[in-house]
Structure 1
Amino acid sequence: MAIDYFKLKNWVFPEQEHRYTEKDTILYALGLGLGKNSSDADELRFVYEDGLQTFPSMAVILGHPGLWMGNPESGINLSKVVHGEQKVRLHHRLPSSGTVIGQSRVIAVVDKGADKGALVVVERKVIDKETGITLATVEQISFCRSEGGFSEQGQPSDVLSAQATVMPTRAADYSCDLPTRPEMALLYRLSSDMNPLHADPATAIAAGFPRPILHGMGTYGVTCHAILKTCCAYRPERLQSLQARFSSPVFPGETIRTEIWRDGGRAYFQSRVVERDKVVLSNGVADIAA
Structure 2
Amino acid sequence: MPIDAVKATSAEPRSTPISWDHKDVQLYHLGIGAGSRPDLADPATDPAELRYTLESRLHVLPSFATVAGGGMALAGGLTAPGIDVDLAAVLHGGQRVEVHRPIPVRGSAVQTSRVAAVYDKGKAAVIVLRSDVADADGPLWTCDTQIFVRGEGGFGGDRGPSVRTDPPGRAPDREVTRPIRPDQALLYRLSGDWNPLHADPEFARRAGFDRPILHGLCSYGIVLKAVTDTLLDGDVLRIRACSARFAGVVLPGETLRVRMWAEAGRILVTAVAAERSDAPVLTDTVVEHV
The alignment's TM-score, normalised by the length of structure 1, stands at 0.89
Aligned-CA RMSD value:
2.0
Q: d(CA) in 1 for partners of 2:283 and 2:89?
A: 21
| Matched residue type, 1:89 | E
The alignment's TM-score, normalised by the length of structure 2, stands at 0.89
Among candidates 101, 108, 130, match of residue 92 of structure 1: 101
Retained in 1: the 8 A contact 2:124–2:154?
yes
Consecutive unaligned residues of structure 1, counting only runs of 5 or more, are none
Which residue does 1:202 correspond to in 2? Answer: 202
Identity %: 39
Q: d(CA) in 2 for partners of 1:81 and 1:158?
A: 18
1:168 aligns with 2:175: no
Provide, for residues 88-143 of structure 1, a one-character-per-residue CA deviation record: whole Å limited to 9, x for no partner: 11111110111121111122222234xx3332211111212x32x21111001122
1:62 aligns with 2:68: yes
- Indicate the SS of the match to 1:149: coil
| Matched residue type, 2:174 | Y
Which residue does 2:190 correspond to in 1? Answer: 190
Retained in 2: the 8 A contact 1:62–1:126?
no
Aligned pairs for 1:246-285 (under 5 A) are 246-276=246-276, 277-285=278-286
Which residue does 1:102 correspond to in 2? Answer: 111
Among candidates 5, 28, 51, match of residue 45 of structure 1: 51
Specify which structure has the higher proportion of helix.
2
Alpha-carbon distance, 1:14 to partner: 2.7
Among candidates 147, 154, 159, match of residue 152 of structure 2: 147
| Matched residue type, 1:10 | S
Which residue does 2:289 correspond to in 1? Answer: 288
Alpha-carbon distance, 1:70 to partner: 4.8
Q: d(CA) in 2 for partners of 1:71 and 1:121?
A: 11
Provide, for residues 157-186 of structure 1, a one-character-per-residue CA deviation record: whole Å limited to 9, x for no partner: 3743x7322332211111021112111111
Q: d(CA) in 2 for partners of 1:199 and 1:81?
A: 15
- Indicate the SS of the match to 1:35: coil
Consecutive unaligned residues of structure 2, counting only runs of 5 or more, are 37-42
Q: d(CA) in 1 for partners of 2:152 and 2:13?
A: 21
Report how many residues are paired: 280
- Indicate the SS of the match to 1:243: strand
- Indicate the SS of the match to 2:240: strand
Which residue does 1:229 correspond to in 2? Answer: 229
Retained in 2: the 8 A contact 1:108–1:122?
yes
Retained in 1: the 8 A contact 2:198–2:212?
yes
Retained in 1: the 8 A contact 2:92–2:147?
yes
